[in-house]
Chains A and B, each alone.
Chain A
Amino acid sequence: MDEAPPRQRSALAWRLALGVALVALVTAYFLSDLPARWTSRTAPAVFHGRDITPEHWDGAFTLTDSAGQPRSLADFRGKIVLLSFGYTHCPDVCPTTLAKFAEVRRLLGADGARVQAVFITIDPERDTAELLRAYVPAFDPTFVGLRGSEAQTDAVTRAFHANYQIVQYQGSTLVDHTASTYILDAEGRPRVVTPYDQTARALADDVQALLKSG
């Protein structure tokens, strides 16, 4: 006689199930990183390019600028660095990339002053300091062109997991090379790799994400 009628029992079971489901949902929400993402600006940045933060690349280098001064990554601390490899005899990809970097600075407005573009030649034999001095600032007066010895050039391309190959081809010297853009944060850590056909807008977004998240 103390057993509840069947209808009442079923209602009780429903309420219990609902309660358990609710508790599970709330627990799952707080266990996930969703609250952090929705409430805090320190959420991990999402990039258009490939996030290489977990790979901890050591992008350290020592090269020489077009004024003959030794330069290393530490010189650009506090700025987001856009870095690419190329050579001045390259008719297409390299000028397009540098023109894109200039466009990124324009798109960022006032934040553009916090961006440093660095062009590293992989053809230092033909790209003399004089030639770099004329070529690189033609895209933007703030851009820096760097060159090194063959060993230094090899070391810096290795540091960025990039490749280059000088090819003698039907009488002309061509250089096959990695056409990616590397974005380094204000502490000089390589953070993002973007393919060469990435738009200026997408690059500017990634720079902005780094400026925000640090």
Chain B
Amino acid sequence: MMRTLASRSFVQRARPRARQLLAAALLLAGAGHAAAPALVAVEDPWVRGTVEGQTGSGAYMRLTSSEDAQLVGATSPVAEHVEIHEMRTVNDMMTMRRVERLALPAHVSVALDHDYHVMFIGLHHQLLVGQVVPITLQVLDARGRRHAVAVRAPVRALNSSRQPDGGAPGAAATPHG
């Protein structure tokens, strides 16, 4: 804490150019594992576990882009197709459709957990609790450049609730889990 305060006051005193460099250095130090600040920050990713024979499932997460961008697709080695789906309930009739692009406005946390989710179609194998599913999100920035955002989503039990406080995501009820 003391160190942070000290560096901040030092940054304020430094000349603009040096201040920028220092800020960048601090950001890099803070990011730790990333080589550069990522365009899209991914929070709390998870995949719903499956039982033997099930060929579809969904992935959930929150995305925050540092600039205006769009989510335009996804891939994963666990499924033949990965799509961004929109779920709508009209008169309690549930419909699900693929969306071509999902807007990620700058600094807005976009939840892929309710109306939108990442849909796996044609799973190659059962998804067991404890496994980690690699997903690559394709994001288009405002200048039309493509970015690949790597996500590692742990598998939670089939009976997990979407909302973290809506139910215990326990492993107890998943067979072979």
Contact = CB atoms under 8 A, between A and B. Distances in A.
Q: How large is the interface on B (under 10, 10 to 19, 20 to 34, 35 or more residues)?
A: 35 or more
B67 to A, nearest CB: 29
Given A95-B158, A96-B162, A171-B81, A134 B52 contact: yes
A204 B81 CA distance: 38
A176 B93 contact: yes
B81 A99 contact: no
A98 B162 CA distance: 12
A99 B167 contact: yes
Interface stretch (B9-17, B22-30, B54-62, B144-152): B54-62
Interface residues of A, number: 37
A179 interface: yes
A50 to B, nearest CB: 10
Interface stretch (B32-40, B70-78, B94-102, B132-140): B94-102
Interface stretch (A20-28, A72-80, A85-93): A85-93
A114 B142 CA distance: 57
A207 to B, nearest CB: 17
A148 to B, nearest CB: 19
B175 A134 contact: yes
Contact of A89 (B52, B56, B95, B160): B56
Nearest to A85: B94
A93 B121 contact: no
A141 B159 CA distance: 12
A96 B158 CA distance: 9
Contact of A102 (B51, B119, B159): B159
B98 A138 contact: no
A130 interface: yes
A174 B83 CA distance: 13
Contacts of A141: 173
Contacts of B161: 96, 99-100, 103
A62 interface: no
B108 interface: no
Nearest to A88: B54
Contact of A135 (B54, B89, B96, B119): B54
Contact of B94 (A131, A140, A177): A177
Contact of A177 (B52, B81, B93): B93
B55 A138 contact: no
Nearest to B121: A172
Interface string A154-196: 0000000001000001111010111110000000000000011
Given A91-B58, A92-B117, A131-B54, A138 B174 contact: yes
Given A92-B58, A169-B97, A131 B160 contact: no
Contacts of A131: 51, 53-54
A178 B121 contact: no
Contacts of A180: 92
B53 A93 contact: no
12 contacts: A88-B51, A88-B54, A93-B94, A95-B158, A99-B161, A102-B167, A174-B96, A176-B95, A178-B94, A179-B93, A195-B92, A196-B92
